[in-house]
Structure 1
Amino acid sequence: MMAHRTQHDGVLVVGAGLAGLSAALAAAPRKALVLTGAPLNHGCSSAWAQGGMAAALSDEDDWALHAADTVAAGAGLVDPERAALLAREGAAAVRTLAALGAPFDRDAAGGFSLSLEAAHSRARVARVKGDQAGRAIMAAVTAATLAQPHIEVRSGTRLRGLLQDAEGQIRGVIVEQAGQIHEITAPAVILATGGIVGLYAVTTTPPELRGEGLGLAASAGAMIADPEFVQFHPTAIDIGRDPAPLATEALRGEGALLINGAGEAFMAAYHPAAELAPRDVVARAIHAERAAGRGAFLDARAAVGDHFPDAFPAVFAACLSGGVDPRVQPIPVAPACHYHMGGIVTDEHGATSLAGLYAAGECASTGVHGANRLASNSLLEAAVFGTRAGAAAREAVEARSRIVRSAASPVLPEAALSGLRIAMSAEAGVVRDGAGLGRLISLIDDLQGAYGACADLTAARLTAACALTRAESLGAHFRIDAPEAPAEPKRTFVTLSALPPSPTSIAAE
């Protein structure tokens, strides 16, 4: 049976996090249709972000310093021109959000109250009530979105495919709503579908974000960059919950220490910057302490203590819900999947390698994150490049060629997804090796054979296959069987059709 097809004469945005809504706002005066699975301000990583937005907002800082810190954190893979663009436009992006009503913390003089986070050379992270930045920013942007007459929001939709013509141009989307398949054509599609962290067993963000936008774009032929680089937040609160609550990095910026079960601070043994080392280093250190049976805890008793309820209310509430009072007890912590540095390759305006298709936010690869994202650059990237994508997409003109590809992708059953998540954490986690990655790819082969080319399986395959191919350690990608970093790091650029054959198919030959 043919799906019902409708036409949208404007910009079609899939995803309603900060990147998607920034794009929709920037599309004015062109109409923008925002498709989202969950209601606004729910089901997106942006609303869960704690730390804040990094930008050169003080007299002691400069965009060039921010750009340099971004490049340094990325372990040789950051595009310096894109990092400079992000940093140059960062302060204006934060001020724009403040003008929309985002209640950033202020100092006595009325300026932004800024905190220091790992791998930053200056205090430059604008926060809201310590750890409420994502929720508060999204509340302001959501209110602004609903007030705009050019934006229509349609919730309860799930992306199931991309419409494509004979020339390869993306012409719209296939969505499922209330159990029905619908096709929507549009002059421009912006994917702002989030990352792949829901493909892992323990995450710090909404588990429904499983890389479906990335997988569908790859299946359509889009160029993908750096999918092997997955960031694990070092200090997820280890109280047996999935998603895991997050103990924001700002706590370490305030002086909280990482200690083992014997009460010994251990980070100085792993890196000279100790608690403020890059995230990948801290995550591996905590992983090592736990693997050795010593345990890992974040001790904020002296740094924050009785100020917890007011200074970090989200962390305080999460700890209490798990039976931990962080005012008087160290917080048990463990690394958890947090962010995907890889994604759909875009230019500085969000355009992908496929005409008619744009991407922004975590599903995109703008070149600013490299092998290890600098703390609090994610919300900034979403705002800066989401706005750029919306402004570029509003100029798109409707194509007239015939649509030739309009099949919805299959859906991976929940039981199979659960097994995939466990395998992704075990084999493509904080520490990896070739044998484990081979086992993971074989599992993906089996699942695809049973259920078809599901979009989330495609995203998992890209991550695992490129991690296996990169037989070296770099940034967040650590191979225990190849721990040395390359002398000249190079980014991964790949299409789905050009992936190396899986171990299963090689064995079959």
Structure 2
Amino acid sequence: MTAGIEHSTDVLIIGSGAAGLTLALKLANKCQVMVLAKGPLAEGSTYYAQGGIAAVFDEDDTIESHVEDTLIAGAGLCDRKAVEFTASEGRRALEWLIRKGVDFDEEEHDGHSRYHLTREGGHSHRRILHAADATGKEVQLTLEQQASQHANITLMERYNAVDLITTDKLGLAGDNKVVGAYVWNRSAEHVETIRAKFVVLATGGASKVYQYTSNPDVASGDGIAMAWRAGCRVANMEFNQFHPTCLYHTEARNFLLTEALRGEGAHLKRPDGTRFMPDFDEREELAPRDVVARAIDFEMKRLGADCMYLDISHKPAEFVTKHFPTIYQRCLGLGIDITKQPIPVVPAAHYTCGGVMTDLDGKTDLNGLYAVGEVAYTGLHGANRMASNSLLECLVFARSASRSIFNQLDDAKWIDDIPHWDESQVTDSDEHVVIAHNWHELRLFMWDYVGIVRTDKRLQRALRRVEMLKGEIHDYYSDFKISNDLLELRNLVQIAELIIRCAMMRKESRGLHYTLDYPEQLENPTPSVLSPSQSN
């Protein structure tokens, strides 16, 4: 093998959730695919997704209705073409999953079996296919099983992508193109080189930039940060979805309580047992997530309360345990019987609506580089993601990206002249406390200054802090050997800056971005786009 290269593959997919594994399975019959997972394969947001996947299966529902619901939830910032494309491809994407073995819940109707469809906030119809309250787990494990059995798919666990390798970085002539990636083998603790004809980012979102998040620890914005450093534009990074109902308990800081609870009749209540959503929106508990999250945040601050409460105990116990077995068992283990008592909840950072700009094939600004899933900005979500459109986006855009890659595969070539990663000038760090301190400071000021409610002053304070941290982390990264925490911190501080700068660009309150200085909406809103070429 050419010096400097430890691995070669046709397509390198960074990320092993629904987007990454779907794309791998779509591609693997015609080419070699390598899939990188930062930790265990299943340790991503897909596995923990509870609610389900939206698509039009009900005969009374229409694609047009799904489109309009999504556009409304997106608060005037969705790209209609992206929404129409996703909704129209939805059923085919779900039918492919079903053929792969995903077992969605069914029900008897007029003597026949059909899929049980639930309804969530923002949807005008029941169109959510689900596997009880553990849909993501069912999807993830099914796709993993399929991928692990395919001869052309190599699954690599405990590998962190460090940076993309491009022809510009190598000093090669011609249009800039991605040719591989440097990756950190967490088990062996050294950097390896992977060359590839195409690279796909399927790394998920960036909610770990906040102190309170429903996401697993791997959600540190790696793909967005790497794409930005490689020259790709990002958009709408100010739109961070805060899930309204994360379990408030010291032993379960990341446990999300699916929106389907409210879809099936759960009420949000103050500590005194009174409901408050009717005071905020005529849709009550089924209002879009941004409305519900702000209402909970408002009531907590108004009352000085640590949390609000989600109550489904008025429903029959058998109904609750059948539809929400995972939540029932998890809460019961913490001493909360949801069939008899309300659940303490707080909002938590949940979903990154912005990301790396792509077209409808998942193509980014960089030749050969694709982005699929939460890492990408396709225009589907606008200023607010509608419930259960996220896994749908993963499936639909993995499908379209595979078609685009197939069309170019015969003409694609590897680059041989890729140098080894140079660690000759760095040493082991004896100051891990620096990383820990900066990590905590970053996530805390992002929560306080760039959270559910923002102001110009808060954003300016956050930007000053993040610029100082960027300098410290850059020096640390240059001087010391790589670690998992250092790689994630380097990416998160870049993500924080992008979120803040996008938020400063938006002089209005819209969707998930709410600022006290500009409470009204502009008449003709546009996406907030940042370009590395304009920042240098």
Q: TM-score, normalised by structure 2?
A: 0.89
Q: Which residue of 2 aligns with 1:127?
A: 130
Rate the CA distance shift 1:285–1:9 in 2: closer, same or farther, 3 A.
same
Rate the CA distance shift 1:83–1:304 in 2: closer, same or farther, 3 A.
farther
Q: Which residue of 2 aligns with 1:63?
A: 63
Contact between 1:23 and 1:391, CA under 8 Å: does it hold in 2? no
Aligned: 1:190 with 2:176: no
Where does the alignment leave 5 or more consecutive residues of structure 2 unmatched?
169-174, 427-431, 478-489
Where does the alignment leave 5 or more consecutive residues of structure 1 unmatched?
502-509
| C-alpha distance in structure 1 between counterparts of 2:420 and 2:446, whole Å | 30
Q: Which residue of 1 aligns with 2:288?
A: 278
Comparing 451-460 with 75-84, greater Cα deviation is found at: 451-460
| C-alpha distance in structure 2 between counterparts of 1:379 and 1:13, whole Å | 17
Residue deviations 1:290-335 (CA, integer Å, cap 9, x gap): 1112552111011354433332012112322332211111111110
Rate the CA distance shift 1:184–1:416 in 2: closer, same or farther, 3 A.
same
| C-alpha distance in structure 2 between counterparts of 1:248 and 1:207, whole Å | 19
Contact between 1:10 and 1:187, CA under 8 Å: does it hold in 2? yes
Q: Which amino acid aligns with 1:95?
A: E
Aligned: 1:115 with 2:129: no
Q: How does 1:318-467 map to 2 (within 5 A)?
A: 318-394=330-406, 395-396=408-409, 397-398=412-413, 400=415, 413-452=435-474, 454-467=490-503
1:400 deviates by 4.8
Q: Which residue of 2 aligns with 1:486?
A: 522
Rate the CA distance shift 1:24–1:407 in 2: closer, same or farther, 3 A.
farther
Contact between 1:259 and 1:266, CA under 8 Å: does it hold in 2? yes
| C-alpha distance in structure 2 between counterparts of 1:112 and 1:4, whole Å | 52
Residue 107 of structure 2 aligns to a residue whose secondary structure is: coil
Residue deviations 1:201-249 (CA, integer Å, cap 9, x gap): 1111112211011011001110111111100000111113564211110
Residue deviations 1:111-167 (CA, integer Å, cap 9, x gap): 2100010010100001112x1100011111111111211111111100101101133
Residue 137 of structure 2 aligns to a residue whose secondary structure is: helix
Residue 358 of structure 1 aligns to a residue whose secondary structure is: strand
Residue 401 of structure 2 aligns to a residue whose secondary structure is: helix
| C-alpha distance in structure 1 between counterparts of 2:205 and 2:35, whole Å | 18
1:407 deviates by 7.8
Q: Which residue of 2 aligns with 1:257?
A: 267
Contact between 1:346 and 1:352, CA under 8 Å: does it hold in 2? yes
Residue deviations 1:161-215 (CA, integer Å, cap 9, x gap): 1101133211111100021111111110000011001111111111221101101
Q: Which residue of 1 aligns with 2:302?
A: 292
Comparing 387-396 with 473-482, greater Cα deviation is found at: 387-396
Residue deviations 1:412-460 (CA, integer Å, cap 9, x gap): 9233112211111111111111111111111111111111182221111
1:18 deviates by 0.3
Contact between 2:235 and 2:530, CA under 8 Å: does it hold in 1? yes
Q: Which residue of 2 aligns with 1:36?
A: 37
Q: Which residue of 2 aligns with 1:14?
A: 14
Rate the CA distance shift 1:341–1:404 in 2: closer, same or farther, 3 A.
farther
| C-alpha distance in structure 2 between counterparts of 1:304 and 1:382, whole Å | 35
Q: Which residue of 1 aligns with 2:532?
A: 496
Contact between 1:118 and 1:253, CA under 8 Å: does it hold in 2? yes
1:3 deviates by 9.4
| C-alpha distance in structure 2 between counterparts of 1:11 and 1:149, whole Å | 14
Residue 344 of structure 1 aligns to a residue whose secondary structure is: strand
Contact between 1:372 and 1:475, CA under 8 Å: does it hold in 2? yes
1:49 deviates by 0.3
1:403 deviates by 5.8
1:406 deviates by 7.0
Comparing 394-403 with 166-175, greater Cα deviation is found at: 394-403
Q: Which amino acid aligns with 1:300?
A: I
| C-alpha distance in structure 2 between counterparts of 1:352 and 1:470, whole Å | 23
Contact between 1:254 and 1:304, CA under 8 Å: does it hold in 2? no
Q: TM-score, normalised by structure 1?
A: 0.93
Contact between 2:9 and 2:34, CA under 8 Å: does it hold in 1? no
Comparing 468-477 with 292-301, greater Cα deviation is found at: 292-301
1:34 deviates by 0.5
Q: Which amino acid aligns with 1:35?
A: L
* Alpha-carbon RMSD: 2.1
